A and B are shown apart, each in its own frame.
Chain A
Amino acid sequence: MSTPRIAVIGIGNVLTGDDAVGPHVVRVFEARYAVPPDVQVMDAGTPGYDLTAFIAGLEALVLVDAVKAKAAPGTRRVYDKEELLHKAPVLAMSPHEPGVREALMNAEFMGVSPKVVKLVGVVPASVATGIGLSPEVRAAIEGAVAQVAQELAALGVAVTERVPAAEPDLWWEKPRG
Chain B
Amino acid sequence: MGKLITIDPVTRIEGHLRIDVEVDGGAVKNAWSSGTMWRGIETILQGRDPRDAWVFTQRICGVCTTVHAIASVRSVENALGLEIPLNAQLIRNVIMSAHALHDHIVHFYALSALDWVDVVAALKADPEKAANLADSLGLQWAGNSKHALKAVKENVAGFVAAGQLGIFTNGYWGHPAMKLPPEVNLLAVAHYLQALDVQRKANQVVAILGSKTPNIQNLAVGGVANAINLDSAAALNMEKLYQVKTLLEEVVTFVQQVYLPDVAAIAASYPDWLKYGAGVTNYLAVPDMPTDAKMTQFDLPGGVIWNGDLSNVKPVASWNDDYLKQNVTESIARAYYEGDTVRQPWEGQTNPKYTGEWKAETPAPEKYTWVKAPRLEGKPVQVGPLAQVLVGYAGGHESIKKWADFCLGTAGKIAGVKLTPAVLHSTLGRHAARAIRAATMGELALKHWKLLVENIGKGDTAVFVDPMKNLKPGTYKGVGFHEAPRGTLSHWSVIESDGKTMKLANYQAVVPSTWNAGPRDAKDQLGPYEKSLVGNPIADPKLPLEALRTIHSFDPCLACAIHTVDAEGEEISRVKVL
Contact = CB atoms under 8 A, between A and B. Distances in A.
Interface string B57-77: 001111101000000000000
A88 B43 contact: no
A99 interface: yes
Contact of B169 (A16, A77, A91): A91
Nearest to A128: B40
Given A66-B565, A92-B570, A130-B44, A48 B560 contact: yes
B567 A48 contact: no
Contacts of B561: 13, 15-16, 19, 46
A68 B560 contact: no
B563 A98 contact: yes
B196 A110 contact: yes
A46 B560 contact: yes
Interface string B535-578: 00000000000000000000000001111111111111110000
Interface string B185-203: 0000000010010011001
A48 B14 contact: yes
Contacts of A65: 565
Interface-central residue, B38, B43, B44, B46, by most chain A CB under 10 Å: B44
Contact of B9 (A56, A95, A102): A95
B503 interface: yes
Contact of B566 (A68, A108, A110): A68
A43 B215 contact: yes
Interface stretch (A24-32, A79-87, A148-156, A157-165): A79-87
Interface in A123-137: 124, 127, 129-131
A139 interface: no
B548 to A, nearest CB: 14
B473 interface: no
Interface in B36-60: 38-41, 43-44, 46-49, 52, 55-56, 59-60
Contacts of B62: 13, 44-48, 50, 98
B172 to A, nearest CB: 14
Contacts of A171: 55
A41 to B, nearest CB: 12
Given A19-B564, A89-B571, A102 B59 contact: no
A50 B214 contact: yes
A126 B12 CA distance: 25
Contact of B193 (A95, A110, A176): A110
B14 A49 contact: yes
Interface in B234-266: none
B161 interface: no
A162 to B, nearest CB: 21
Interface in A87-144: 87-102, 105-106, 108-112, 119, 121, 124, 127, 129-131
Contacts of A62: none
Given A53-B203, A108-B164, A16 B562 contact: yes
Interface of B: 9, 12-16, 38-41, 43-44, 46-49, 52, 55-56, 59-63, 65, 106, 110-111, 155, 159, 164-167, 169-170, 193, 196, 199-200, 203-204, 207-208, 214-215, 503, 560-574
Interface of A: 1, 11-16, 19, 43-50, 52-53, 56, 65-70, 77, 79, 83-85, 87-102, 105-106, 108-112, 119, 121, 124, 127, 129-131, 171-172, 174, 176-177
Q: Which 5 A-B pairs have the closest CB atoms?
A: A46-B62, A88-B569, A105-B167, A176-B47, A68-B564
